[in-house]
Amino acid sequence: MPARRWFEVDRARLARIRNFQSTEFYSRLVMRPLSVLIMLVVADWKWLTPNRVTTAATAAKIVGVVYLVVDHREHALAAVIWLQVGTLLDHLDGTLARYRGTGSAFGAFYDKVSDALTWLAISGAIGLAGYRDHGDVWLPIAAMASAYALLALGYMKWIVMAASRRSPAMAPSGPPERTPAQWVRWFLSTLARAAMFEEIDLFFWIGIGVLAHRIDLLIWLLAISQGAQLAIMLVKRTLQMRALDQAAASAPSAPSAAPPAPPKSRRAA
């Protein structure tokens, strides 16, 4: 069998790397393609574990927060770059775990908790930057309100998943096969999803707002978009939980166990 040239790609390996299909605008067009390219190089580095990638993602986001706090205008580019690096690594840890089949309950917990804590830090830094620019106390309040809304969205999601006994682990999925026309429709639908302001997409909008030095508009965008999503999802999750209750109530009840037989008398016959 002839040796593979350096520019040739092992298609079976590539298919295993492309093991998750994102729905968010920013993930689909930027972060997922970049994570796949990086995985082609690092996927088999034994020392690089998913949890270490999660740690690196957290560290990169914290560096971005520090740049925002120190001087969000002078260090705008550095802050945005570090936040985007953290977001990219946040895509890489799950991709690596699915590729190796080493997903774990602790890994999922560590990833989600790290995301929550770093998002609070990022929101606080953005709120502080807005206050420094405009002296408006409502800007840090709105920034933290948007963070609260995002965390509440995640909280409701995991409650519903726990109630429905669904595992939070994401099973690997094969890459889709699309015709050129289907790829065009996929691209257009992805662009339309930019208006959804989903969790990963927020890092894209943060980059735009920080680089344009319009922290005030960024904060109100985050607050309004996440507040609206919270209101919508509160209704949806409530209906989902009611549906679970109704399904449980209509399910045939298991036959009750027969009462235990009384103990035999030890009295002699």
- What digits encode the pLDDT tens for the residues 116-173? 999 999 999 999 999 999 999 999 999 999 999 999 999 998 888 888 876 555 556 6
Lowest pLDDT segment from 15-29, 80-94, 161-175, 199-213: 161-175
- Say what the pLDDT of residue 194 is: 86
Taking the C-alpha atoms of residue 207 and residue 215, their distance in angstroms, rounded to an integer, is: 10
pTM: 0.85
Q: Is the pLDDT of residue 269 over 70?
A: no
Mean pLDDT for the stretch of residues 66-83: 96
Task: Indicate the SS3 state at residue 5.
Answer: coil
Judge contact between 64 and 80, C-beta under 8 A: yes
Q: What percent of the chain has pLDDT over 70?
A: 87
Q: What is the mean pLDDT of the chain?
A: 87
Mean pLDDT for the stretch of residues 98-116: 90
- Say what the pLDDT of residue 170 is: 56
Q: How confident is the model at residue 13 (pLDDT cuts 50, 70, 90)?
A: confident
Taking the C-alpha atoms of residue 42 and residue 31, their distance in angstroms, rounded to an integer, is: 16
Mean pLDDT for the stretch of residues 79-90: 96
Q: Is the pLDDT of residue 261 over 90?
A: no
Mean pLDDT for the stretch of residues 92-96: 91
- Say what the pLDDT of residue 258 is: 55
Tokens coding 21: 């299909």
Q: How confident is the model at residue 22 (pLDDT cuts 50, 70, 90)?
A: confident
- Say what the pLDDT of residue 248 is: 84
Mean pLDDT for the stretch of residues 109-116: 93
Superfamily of domain 11-171+197-246: CDP-alcohol phosphotransferase transmembrane (TM) domain (1.20.120.1760)
Q: How confident is the model at residue 90 (pLDDT cuts 50, 70, 90)?
A: very high
Q: Is the pLDDT of residue 266 over 50?
A: no
- Say what the pLDDT of residue 262 is: 55
Task: Indicate the SS3 state at residue 123.
Answer: helix
Q: What percent of the chain has pLDDT over 90?
A: 58
- Say what the pLDDT of residue 267 is: 40
- Say what the pLDDT of residue 19 is: 79
- Say what the pLDDT of residue 265 is: 43
Judge contact between 143 and 215, C-beta under 8 A: no
Per-residue exposure over 125-143, b if at least 16 CB sit within 10 Å of its own CB, e if not: bbbbbbbeeeeeebbbebb
Judge contact between 144 and 124, C-beta under 8 A: yes
- Over residues 177-226, the pLDDT tens digits come to 788 888 889 888 888 888 888 889 999 999 999 999 999 999 999 999 99
Could you tell me the residue ranges of all domains in the chain?
A: 11-171+197-246
